[in-house]
Structure 1
Amino acid sequence: MTYVGIDVSKKTLDCCVLDADNEVYLKVQNSQGGYDELMSLLVLYDDVHVCLEATGSYWQSLVEFLAANDVRVSVENPAKIHYFAKASMLRMKSDKRDALLIADYCKVMTPRLYSPVAAAVAELKLLVGMYQRLKKQKISERVKLLEAPALVKPLINSNIEHFNNQLLETKEMLKAFFRSNADLAHKHEILQTIPGIGFSSGVVLLSILASGYTFESANQFVAYLGLNPRKMESGTALKGRERISKIGKPEYRAALYMPAVVAYSKNLYPDIVTRLQSNGKTPKVIIVALMRKLAIYAYTVYKTNSAYVAK
């Protein structure tokens, strides 16, 4: 087996080919010409497994090219490779060294292969990503408005109005998307049967669940969102409070936060809330527990392809 680590940046690809005999380094442009140059090297080896980090959006066209040429490729969370480097006690950092590190990671960890998403799902993720960015920018402007001098408040209000219009336009684009994609539209509708889940949180959950991630259980989905509990306990010296791991994109957890707040304030899940309150849990802890429960319900509804039914 030949392992290839690629350190991806906006303009270049630093590649390390690692086989039983030696290491070969290659630096090419992150462009079609660079991909062709890389492929001319890979064809010299048998049974190639390429691994790279999911760095922004710079990796996507490369992965599509490799998959189209029947090259085994894995796309990994940068945090995994970061902790692998710490475990290996590496003290150097360079593009060349990072490429070798990724190749080593591929050899030792044998990461699962990348599964290309359907064109419709890719379009959905693009629209959802835009919707989330616009919401984040709007919130940022609203925070600025609280302490802004009177001189610039009209400008900030104008920005907020602009983002409101952009959000409405993006939402209309999402509605048009669902009119053209009946299967995903049905999935989105049944996700909204979960009490507390609305249009916005539904599209975010759908964009994750439909992305081809092989979640084998609801607990895996919860862990992917970073809502799984993390114990801080070792011997007698270290005994901290249990917290959520927060591993994963914060915008995914943010999409569940407001639905959980609504569910708590409107008492949509009285049995859960009452049980936690009787155990002395604070409202903050209860809201996080509701976020986790909403994620479990979303996974179940998506996998069974049926509307939520209260138990």
Structure 2
Amino acid sequence: MNLNGDMDKSYIGIDVAKRKLDCVIMRHGKFKSKVFPNQADGFQALHQWLLAYEVCTNQAHLCLEATGPYSEQVALALVSLGWQVSVVNPARIKGFAQSELARNKTDKSDAALLARFCMALQPSLWVPPSPAYRQLRALVERRQALQDMHQQEMNRLEAHQASGEVLVIGHVQQHIDWLNAQITQIEKDIDDHIDGHPELKQDAELMATIPGLGHVTIAKVLAYAGDVRRFTNGKALAAYVGITPKQRESGSSVKGRTMIARTGHAALRKAPYMPGMVALRHNPALKVFGERMRSNGLAPKAVIGAVMRKLVHLIYGVIKSGKPFDAEIPLKGLAIQDGI
């Protein structure tokens, strides 16, 4: 932890809202603040404001929370202008605020908190995903939205059929038919998008060699995790997904149940659940792994969590190595370790 930071360096916290950016410059223990609109001309105005205070791009570290599309656009703009930007998990900022016993919560104070966090912990710099990955993510999110609407309409159809509301049933069925057509089309668009970009196609083909993984999960991993080669190892990817174990043991009195941490990417964390269930039956390496976990006394849900985690490690392995899945490799590893 760097509590003092580089005295010649400026730390800028940016609290992102839908319509505005609250920005705070921290340098030499002093603070300057200003509010900008969260749009293209606001990004340029922020850039000019920083330069006006003699903040240099190579001597500045900007920090903002990951808040989906609202934060991504400003981060993309600032990186393109030459700034060093960190996009941080909001859970880390919340924990840092608790460590400071912060009492106030306003947009301005949150921006100052981000600046202090940036100076103290020096978070890693954000690397923007390529347009191909961003476009894939938009398609995958749209497919999920359509599937959610489809499930809602199916529930309504069942309710109307039970109550005998014949006039409404036809309207709901028409919407379901339309949604089915839209889902079919967007699935084709996702496949065409992956096939049209060599970096996506290569990784998709490698993941497809892992028994248990289907095209839906593969698209989600590519969309939400991006290029997994940016992670140092499989454990780091599993932590990003949010399926690493969280232990609660301390001294002789605290012996809580170990569970999944759930501090990673919420949408991506759901993706390996069904593939994990399938892999327990059809992936030779993970079938042996699951049987070993059961023989060690793990509960059924804990076994699924362990298989999900192992599946993510296999995804990292095939992409990082550039080689298709080989069941003999993880089986050899299981001979000397549990693989968690």
- TM score, norm. by length of structure 1: 0.92
Contact (CA 8 Å) 2:217, 2:272: kept in 1 or not?
A: yes
Q: How does 1:46-61 map to 2 (within 5 A)?
A: 46=56, 47-61=59-73
Distance 2:299 2:155 in 1: 26
SS in 2 for 1:196: coil
- Give yes or no for the alignment of 1:34 onto 2:42: yes
Counterpart of 1:222, as a letter, is A
Deviations 1:251-278 (A, max 9, x none): 2121111111222355753312321222
Distance 2:229 2:95 in 1: 22
Offset at residue 283 of structure 1 (A): 2.7
Distance 1:238 1:140 in 2: 42
Q: How does 1:86-165 map to 2 (within 5 A)?
A: 86-143=98-155, 149-151=163-165, 155-165=171-181
- Give yes or no for the alignment of 1:199 onto 2:211: no
Contact (CA 8 Å) 2:23, 2:111: kept in 1 or not?
A: yes
Distance 2:103 2:173 in 1: 48
Deviations 1:123-179 (A, max 9, x none): 122222222333333344445556564435555544444333222111111122123
Across the two proteins, how many residue pairs are aligned to each other?
Answer: 311
Q: 1:203 to 1:285 in 2, by over 3 A?
A: same
SS in 1 for 2:69: coil
Deviations 1:203-226 (A, max 9, x none): 112224434773101111111111
Which residue number in structure 1 is paired with residue 239 of structure 2?
Answer: 223
The counterpart of 1:188, out of the listed 191, 199, 204, is 204
Which residue number in structure 1 is paired with residue 291 of structure 2?
Answer: 274
Counterpart of 1:12, as a letter, is K
Deviations 1:74-131 (A, max 9, x none): 1111111111111111111111111111111111111111112222122122222222
Which residue number in structure 2 is paired with residue 15 of structure 1?
Answer: 23
Which residue number in structure 1 is paired with residue 318 of structure 2?
Answer: 301
Contact (CA 8 Å) 1:209, 1:302: kept in 2 or not?
A: no
Of all paired residues, the percent bearing the same amino acid is 32
- TM score, norm. by length of structure 2: 0.84
Distance 1:270 1:21 in 2: 57
Counterpart of 2:109, as a letter, is R
Distance 1:227 1:202 in 2: 17
Which residue number in structure 1 is paired with residue 187 of structure 2?
Answer: 171
Distance 2:155 2:281 in 1: 24
Unaligned runs of 5+ in 2: 1-8, 329-340
Counterpart of 1:307, as a letter, is P
Q: 1:267 to 1:282 in 2, by over 3 A?
A: farther
Distance 1:260 1:183 in 2: 25
Larger CA deviation: 88-97 vs 47-56: 47-56
Unaligned runs of 5+ in 1: none
Counterpart of 1:106, as a letter, is C
The counterpart of 2:275, out of the listed 254, 259, 276, is 259
Larger CA deviation: 86-95 vs 132-141: 132-141
Contact (CA 8 Å) 2:210, 2:283: kept in 1 or not?
A: no
Which residue number in structure 2 is paired with residue 45 of structure 1?
Answer: 55
Contact (CA 8 Å) 1:52, 1:102: kept in 2 or not?
A: yes
- Give yes or no for the alignment of 1:249 onto 2:257: no
Distance 2:292 2:155 in 1: 36
Counterpart of 2:55, as a letter, is Y
The counterpart of 1:210, out of the listed 214, 220, 226, is 226
Larger CA deviation: 120-129 vs 261-270: 261-270
Distance 2:269 2:71 in 1: 24
Contact (CA 8 Å) 2:20, 2:36: kept in 1 or not?
A: yes
Counterpart of 2:131, as a letter, is A
Distance 2:268 2:89 in 1: 15
Distance 1:238 1:294 in 2: 31
Q: Which aligned segments of 4 or more residues in structure 1 are displaced greater than 6 angstroms?
A: none
Larger CA deviation: 265-274 vs 225-234: 265-274
Offset at residue 3 of structure 1 (A): 0.7
Which residue number in structure 1 is paired with residue 6 of structure 2?
Answer: none
Distance 1:166 1:80 in 2: 38
SS in 2 for 1:62: helix
Which residue number in structure 2 is paired with residue 4 of structure 1?
Answer: 12
Which residue number in structure 1 is paired with residue 336 of structure 2?
Answer: none
Offset at residue 281 of structure 1 (A): 2.8
Contact (CA 8 Å) 2:62, 2:85: kept in 1 or not?
A: yes
Q: 1:216 to 1:265 in 2, by over 3 A?
A: same
